[in-house]
Structure 1
Amino acid sequence: MGRPLPSDGSRRGSDDAQGTGFGDLLRRHRRDAGLSQEKLAELAGLSVDAIAALERGRRRAPRPHTLRLLGDALRLGAPDRAQLTAAARRDADTTRSVLRLPPVAPNELIGRSQEVEEAARLISERATRLLTLSGPAGVGKTRLALAVASQVAHRFEDGVCWVPLAPVLEPAAVTPAIATAIGLHPLDGARLTEEIAEQIGRRSLLLVLDNCVHVLAGATGVVSTLLEYCPNLTVLATSRELMRVPGESVYVVPPLALPTDDEDSASSPAVRLFVDRATARGCPPTGQLDQVARVVSRLEGIPLAIELAAARTNVLTVEELAAELDSSFAILGGGSSTGGSRQESLFGAIGWSHALLTPSERDLFARLSIFAGGWSLNAAAAVLSGRLVPGPLERATALDLTSRLVDKSLIRVSRDRGIARYDMLAVIREFAAGQLTVAGTDEETARNHAGFYIALAEEAESHLRGPNQGDWLDRLDGELDNLRAAMAWAFRTEAMTEAVRLAGGLWLFCYLRGHYAEGGEWLERALKLADAGGPELAPYKAKACLGAGMLAFLQCEYDAATTRLESALAQYKALDDTAGTALVMQRLGGVARERGDYVTAENLHCQSYDLFESLGDRSGMSWAHNQLGFVAWLRGDLEIAARRCKRARDSFRVLGDGEGLAWSLISLGTIAQYGGELAEAEELLQESLALSQRLGYREGVAWSLNQLGIVERRRGLTERAVHFLDESLAEHRDLGDRWRSASVLEELATVAQQRNRTEYAAFLLGAADGIREVIGAPVPEIEKADLQGTKQAIEQALDRRAFRAAWSAGRAAPLAAVADGYPGPSASPDRSTRL
């Protein structure tokens, strides 16, 4: 946020201006020029609301054209224009969503300078909206895309977003993968493409889709839509097959140039690549360049084939490599019969490397193709042996075979925080998957894979509320692609037991990491499958019903949540499961709480406490205390709330429950701010914010920001209040929590009214009222006084017609559009109706 203007309105020095926000700097220049917002809007050819929104910071990252119009209208010199542009960029940097950045290349890109320049030139041309890097598998499309993205990144003000599609298994999963990469956590899969388009908007962005060919049907549709609705978006794709989207430009990536008879072999890119990779393996081919030229020529300059061949220099001389290739090229026929000679050369290189493996190495190599997004040594041993908990012998066997495959460059190893993890290049994984199918062990391997990840999910579940919560959340995050693959297998094969166990085991993870919609869909599909199951599935179905109810509740689908939770309650009672019964009562109490039925909520939480107490379950008792405190402060009984939540906080600290501690701190901070103890409230809420961010607990982050915004508003620091509240609204909206989104909008309306943006405040109140009507949740009792005061102040400041128009415009606006600011009465849909 920018610093406040000096009282005399004079311009500060250039150093000060460098740290000023765009809105403050624009306001300063306008006042120095003696212009009102209306006059500046007239001179610049913009609307008054646009100027107001820019100054307030509600609209950020103005386009270069807008900056030029403002500079001309204000008659700014070059230094002032540069400062204004820099401020706009700084503000944009602080507000844009977190993009998935391109990965760092593992080694030097050799012999591709011309291709990089040519592809970069095509992207830099305004007419090129979609550039597809095409060519045979293994020709180096991904590496070239990385280099091109780096070369042109400076041309895209909002950055480069990398979307790896290799782990994606189905065309329908392309759109969610793009959403995740741009930092969007969707609520409704039915309009996910539209949500992505809204998120990108007019941003100047390069979207890189890597490895599209196996999910082309899913990629073409979303790319076509995004290019239509996002005018400043450019897409760079890598695919062996064209997308055939209107306006597509294609750059066919050629093989590396081979040595010719009239040139020095050392200057050939293909030879240089082989020499570099062999040297990196500790085997520099000194004095053997003629044999190197023979090898790379036989491999037709395909980079992946060259790298695989160079990897063999740890066991063979270059002469032996060349001789082996000369005698075994018949295996090139194992590649695609329709992909052309280059496609066959690539599969020939991989097939040749595969032919050198022992039977046991081949078996593991094929089975490892079942993994998506990498794997651990334990996972490899489980898939190989079929045992969920591999013993020392199985682990030793897997370790030995893995080591051999790493040495042969068929799998890669990475190390993070003392743990080794493995993966395959996408094209090698594809080849290995074909071998798995040929061997007829694909279904057996998929079942072993699913069994391992079901066991992992169920083991993790018991640690997701305790001192190691963060580590287990990170572990599941790292295995998310594999968990999704296991889930997809269970649904595809209608494996009801595996589906309901895995979905039920993951619901708490989905809650803590904000995967509400995806987790809810898994649970509903699993429960539908499990309807045909017998009594042996009863405990898993009860847990899945609990999870489905909880995730529906978190998305404010109260009727659906109640149905699922009541079903879970009946099932747990039938199972005589006291802990499960208590937990469901706690969740039903949450539904009643948000619907404003505090008596029912309190009764359910008390019953839950009694059941947990009968079990001696300290964690459950602590959560019951915290929930009772939550109900108490929502209804305005701050003394009881503080007593309950302090007791919960102290217990959570002892138990090491990070989620519980974050929640109790949020409640105590909220109680303090409503009690007027703002310094104490800020301290508690900052602690909860830091803890929630460390855990990746998004709901805790959103609530902490919400309450910090109220603290700053009560202090009169409205700029800081808007910052916190805007961030909170974005989090709640992405999570799907419309109940809290409505409360944040109402608080933003209070800030807007205090800053004399009365019409905009009415718009925000209308938006909040529309949300509450849809979900059927009233204003919490504790928030009613502030809301009523805001509404009265707005009604006194606006005539009835203006109030109704702004209010109705807010009610009609979708939540995704509300954060863009009030469009003004001229754009109101009610402007010409009955008022």
Structure 2
Amino acid sequence: MPSDGSRRGSDDAQGTGFGDLLRRHRRDAGLSQEKLAELAGLSVDAIAALERGRRRAPRPHTLRLLGDALRLGAPDRAQLTAAARRDGDTTRSAIRVPPVAAHELIGRATEVEETARLVGERLTRLLTLSGPGGVGKTQLGLAVARLVAHRFDDGVCWVPLAPVSDLAAVTPAIAAAIGLHPLDGGRLIEEIAEQVGRRSLLLVLDNCEHVIADAAGAVSALLECCPNLTVLATSRELMRVPGESVYVVPPLALPENDEQLDTSPAVRLFIDRATARGYQPAGQIDQIARVVSRLEGMPLAIELAAARTNVLTVEELAAELDSSFAILAGGSSTAGPRQQSLSGAIGWSHALLTSAERELFAKLSVFVGGWSLNAAAAVLSEQLTPGPLERAAALDLTSRLVDKSLIRVSRDRGIARYDMLAVIREFAAGQLTSAGLDDETARNHAGYYIALAEEAESHLRGANQGDWLDRLDGELDNLRSAMTWALRTEAVTEAVRLAAGLWLFCYLRGHYAEGGEWLERALTLADSGGAELASYKAKTCLGAGMLAFLQCEYDVATTRLESALAQYKELGDTAGTALVMQRLGGVARERGDYVTAENLHCQSYDLFESLGDRSGMSWAHNQLGFVAWLRGDLEIAARRCRRARDSFRVLGDGEGLAWSLISLGTIAQYGGELAEAEDLLQESLALSQRLGYREGVAWSLNQLGIVERRRGLTERAVHLLDESLAEHRDLGDRWRSASVVEELATVAQQRNRTEYAAFLLGAADGIREVIGAPVPEIEKADVQRTKQAIEQTLDRRAFRAAWSAGRAAPLAAVADGYQGPTPTADRSTRL
């Protein structure tokens, strides 16, 4: 039976609320709430909520159901719809709007622009701002909400979830923020959906990680029901619902060079917050850069550090942070516990982990500089070569920790790699120590990297040499950490095996001093090792002798190599014996004993030939060619080195090929074939740079400098020789440094810098006297000509003064451009 409402004037209904109008139509129809609910297919609670105003702005579908149940005509339906719209308009002012930020957002222009475009242009309906605690997700969310608010006709609703501790309270929190205050939460998500309806609204859920499951369920349901709703969430953990887009909020950009110090966002934030505390950090920009770099650009950490300027100088702050992040506390008194200290911020995330996640999180702190999935699986499972099940378990837990923003993932050349922010790693290390698992985990970590070093060693002279060198370089921090643990705990087997496995890598990548120290300390421990370590001890002696030789410590090198020779002979290891003879030949060569060097290389060749070892035979040919050109036998040298070059190309030995090209380029240079020499040396330089083979780079630059000097291009020669000297000096190769300094003296004399030339010759002579190595035979003529030209120009007293000053000057000073205390020298240029 139609309601009499159709006969009442529109003015009578104009100001009536939806709830009152619905109640009047129901009573006019003679229906109870229960009967209307039955006819409309709604719950009695829903009818009661609508009539009492607890629920407003019903969806169009609900209005149709009510109109049909009440048998309303078109005018009454229109009045009911208008009343619902008026009530809906009233609710818009009831939503919770975003708070006003307490501080200016510094250094986030790019992040705000990118995320605002995704949200404002509706390129995604759910965007999660993810990242670790303290990276600034909430502040970024506020900035984005303010920027895009005009794009949403019905505004922005802010839902703070940090205070919510009960999972079941998430949906009521959203309802309260949207303006709903229902008495019964049974259909609450449906009521929120009806309230939002088709409205154009941005819903911001801040701090979801601790209630992620309930938040994800609510968001998924609302997005399905509300076509014009967009959700922006801030969370340390992803929601993992269909349609979710993720923006990982990065730390603030750090200064990459001195020119960026003043404009770096991280530095600017520190200065802003320190100034607000009454501290004026004028003239301390370098120390501020040191602080923010140590904190890796984390905004919360920077703010907490800046807060400490009320009691510490920036220099003291930097020194404290070098050892620990414990001082990072004292945030705003109005902030929650997780924002008042860095430990609290990370502890909040840690508390949300499962026991399995916590175990892996703690154990991952053993890694330094990142890790691979295999490494994580090995440490977690305590197996050096984890199988598919162990890898799957590690992958699952790693994925969860990545999603929870506790570890980061990077991808390079098809390989995923993981790491932690330093502040998070320190917290995780504390958990590992508290659990009493630090030593056990360190042992497993060392075991994995020993296996990696030993596997890599067999590939460091083959076709994949470059890839394996790069792989070890990428793990250098972990290798150092494993070695430090082994030496500190006097783990004899681990120390000896790791040092032995790494010596060739240390040689090829120029870690002469560091590798040599590892080997010497491992040898000290090896005295207490058993017979099972015999082969590793021999290899350790070989490596120690080789790296001592490369640093021109010839007596130490000889002692170590002769010990290795005896051990390899006792073991019956022919290949090891041949290799040691090759290294002893190198020592004799640099000391100018070419006969002994040649004999040792010939014996080495014979042993390699007996084994059918083509690589060893090729190296023997190359070493014999090296000895030949040093003593001036260029024809023999060329024949030997061409054989070596051709063999190295077939074997794919990059180091060997680089060396044979250097030798052939040098032979061509001394033979007057400068164009050929340049081609060969440029090829060796490019190959050495590609491999990261620093000795090859240094030698190639040295010989290219001589080529340019012979052409009369002295400025170019100086540039190349300076680069070569810097490399040789850094490597610790004093034998070659002396030769480069002598060549620089020749260039200086040609440029009429006579006193400086005398100074350089004196410096080279001083170096040679210390190491006990003469000028190579092939180089003597050039050195003698230079010396004679200087003596013809300078009087004897001036020559002796410059020469003596050079002999007294440290190599580091000479390489840095020090020109001696000669009063007439022109110091405006290097040469």
TM-score, reference length from structure 1: 0.62
**Given the superposition, is the C-alpha separation of residues 711 and 150 from structure 1 closer, same or farther in structure 2, using an over 3 Å criterion?**
closer
What's 1:264 paired with?
none
Matched position secondary structure for 2:588? helix
Q: Equivalent residue for 1:488?
A: 484
Equivalent-residue separation in structure 2 for 1:384 and 1:709 (angstroms)? 53
1:815 aligns with 2:814: no
Q: 1:554 aligns with which of 543, 550, 556?
A: 550
Q: CA deviation at 1:805?
A: 0.6
The equivalent of 1:133 in structure 2 is: none
Matched residue, 1:681: 677
Partner of 2:412: 416
CA contact (8 A) 1:160 1:205 kept: no
Native 8 Å contact 1:572 1:581 kept in 2 = yes
Post-superposition shift, 1:643?
Answer: 0.3
1:153 has 2:153 as partner: no
1:350-361 matches, cutoff 5 A: 350-361=346-357
Structure 2 match to 1:401: 397
Tell me which residue corresponds to 2:665: 669
2:646 aligned to 632, 645, 650, which one?
Answer: 650
Counterpart CA distance in 1 for 2:425 and 2:254 is 25
Instruction: Give the Cα separation in 1 of the matches to 2:551 and 2:374.
Output: 36
Letter in structure 2 aligned against 1:515: H
Deviations 1:360-380 (A, max 9, x none): 222211111111111100000
- C-alpha distance 207-821 of structure 1, shift in aligned 2 (>3 A): farther
Name which of 724, 728, 732 aligns with 1:732: 728
For 1:474, give the aligned amino acid.
Answer: D
Amino acid at match of 1:825: T
Could you tell me which residue of structure 1 aligns to residue 336 of structure 2?
298
What secondary structure, in the 3-state scheme, does the structure 2 residue paired with 1:414 have?
strand
Residues 1:113 and 1:746: Cα distance change in structure 2 (over 3 Å): farther
Q: Residue in 2 aligned with 1:636?
A: 632
Residue identity matched to 1:153: E
Structure 1 CA distance for aligned equivalents of residues 427 and 251 of structure 2:
22
Checking the alignment, whether the CA contact within 8 Å between 1:209 and 1:237 is kept in structure 2 is no
Matching residue of 2:156: none
Aligned to 1:469: 465
Matches within 5 A, 1:376-775: 376-775=372-771
SS in 1 for 2:462: coil
Q: CA deviation at 1:404?
A: 1.1
Shift of 1:255: 4.6
Shift of 1:534: 1.2
C-alpha separation between the residues in 2 aligned to 1:512 and 1:817?
A: 26
Gaps of 5+ in 1: 1-109, 118-136, 163-202, 214-233, 245-250, 259-296, 303-341, 829-835
Structure 2 match to 1:208: 290
- Give the length in aligned residue pairs: 553
Partner of residue 822, structure 2: 825
Displacement after TM superposition at 1:430 (Å): 1.9
Q: Deviations over 1:290-327 (max 9, x none)?
A: xxxxxxx4346x3xxxxxxxxxxxxxxxxxxxxxxxxx
The amino acid across from 2:610 in the alignment is S
Aligned amino acid, residue 577 of structure 1: D
Residues 1:760 and 1:112: Cα distance change in structure 2 (over 3 Å): farther
Residue 208 of structure 1 aligns to a residue whose secondary structure is: helix
Matches within 5 A, 1:67-146: none
Offset, 1:822 = 1.7
Structure 2 SS opposite 1:826? coil
Shift in Å, 1:612: 0.4
C-alpha displacement of 1:443: 1.7
Question: What is the Cα deviation at residue 207 of structure 1?
Answer: 6.4
Q: Tell me the SS of whatever aligns to 2:255.
A: helix
Matches of 2:544 and 2:483, distance apart in 1: 16
Question: How far does residue 486 in structure 1 lie from its aligned partner after superposition?
Answer: 0.5
Q: Which residue number in structure 2 is paired with residue 784 of structure 1?
A: 780
Q: Distance in 2 between matches of 1:390 and 1:150?
A: 39
Q: Do the aligned residues in 2 keep the contact of 1:139 with 1:254 (CA within 8 Å)?
A: no
Q: Is the 8 A contact 2:134 2:345 kept in 1?
A: no
Q: Could you give the per-residue CA deviations for residues 657-695 of structure 1, whole angstroms, max 9, x where no partner exists?
A: 000000000000000000010000000000000000111
SS at 1:149 equivalent: coil
Residue identity (%): 81
| Residues 144, 821 of structure 1: alpha-carbon distance in 2 compared, 3 angstrom cutoff | farther
Q: Shift of residue 349 of structure 1?
A: 4.0
Question: For each residue in 1:525-569, what CA deviation from the matched residue of structure 2 results, as whole angstroms up to 9, or x when unmatched?
Answer: 000001111111110000000000000000000000000000000
Mapped to 1, the partners of 2:609 and 2:521 lie a distance apart of: 35
CA offset digits 1:390-445 (Å, max 9, x no partner): 11111111111111111111111111111101111222222222222222222211
Instruction: Please tell me whether Structure 1 or Structure 2 has the larger radius of gyration of its CA atoms.
Output: 2
Distance change >3 Å, CA 161–CA 428, structure 1 → 2? closer
Contact 2:551 2:734 in 1 (8 A): yes
Structure 2 distance, partners of 1:657, 1:349, is 51
C-alpha distance in structure 1 between counterparts of 2:668 and 2:735, whole Å: 22
Q: Distance in 1 between matches of 2:289 and 2:761?
A: 36
Computed over aligned residues only, the root mean square deviation of the Cα atoms, in angstroms, reads 3.3
Specify the SS of the correspondent of 2:366. Answer: coil
SS at match of 1:533: coil
Distance 1:711 1:769 in 2: 23
CA contact (8 A) 1:210 1:238 kept: no
Cα separation, 2, equivalents of 1:409 and 1:478: 23
Quote the Cα distance in structure 1 between the aligned partners of 2:518 and 2:765: 32
Q: Residue by residue, what CA displacement relative to the aligned partner does 1:758-800 show, whole Å, maximum 9, x if unpaired? A: 1111110000000000000000000011111111111111110
Distance 2:359 2:321 in 1: 34
**Counterpart of 1:372 in 2: which secondary structure?**
coil
Secondary structure at 2:410 match in 1: strand
SS in 2 for 1:415: strand
Which residue identity is paired with 1:618? R
Q: Cα–Cα, structure 1 residues 207 and 543, in superposed 2: closer, same or farther, change >3 Å?
A: farther
Q: Indicate how the Cα distance of structure 1 residues 475 and 353 shifts in structure 2: closer, same or farther if over 3 A, else same.
A: same
One-letter code of the match for 2:410?
S
Change (3 A) 1:160 1:235: farther
Q: Displacement, 1:243?
A: 8.4
* AA at the equivalent of 1:570: A
Aligned equivalents of 1:554, 1:703: Cα separation in 2: 13
Deviation at 1:356, TM superposition (A): 2.5
Pairwise CA distance, 1:816: 1.1
Q: Answer yes or no: is the 8 Å Cα contact 1:469–1:658 preserved in 2.
A: yes
Contact 2:632 2:777 in 1 (8 A): yes
Instruction: Indicate how the Cα distance of structure 1 residues 418 and 155 shifts in structure 2: closer, same or farther if over 3 A, else same.
Output: closer
Within the alignment, does 1:801 sit opposite 2:797 as a pair?
Answer: yes
1:381/1:395 contact within 8 Å kept: yes
Rate the CA distance shift 1:465–1:150 in 2: closer, same or farther, 3 A: closer
Structure 2 alignment gaps of length 5 or more: 1-100, 109-131, 137-248, 268-284, 296-312, 826-831
2:143 matched residue in structure 1: none
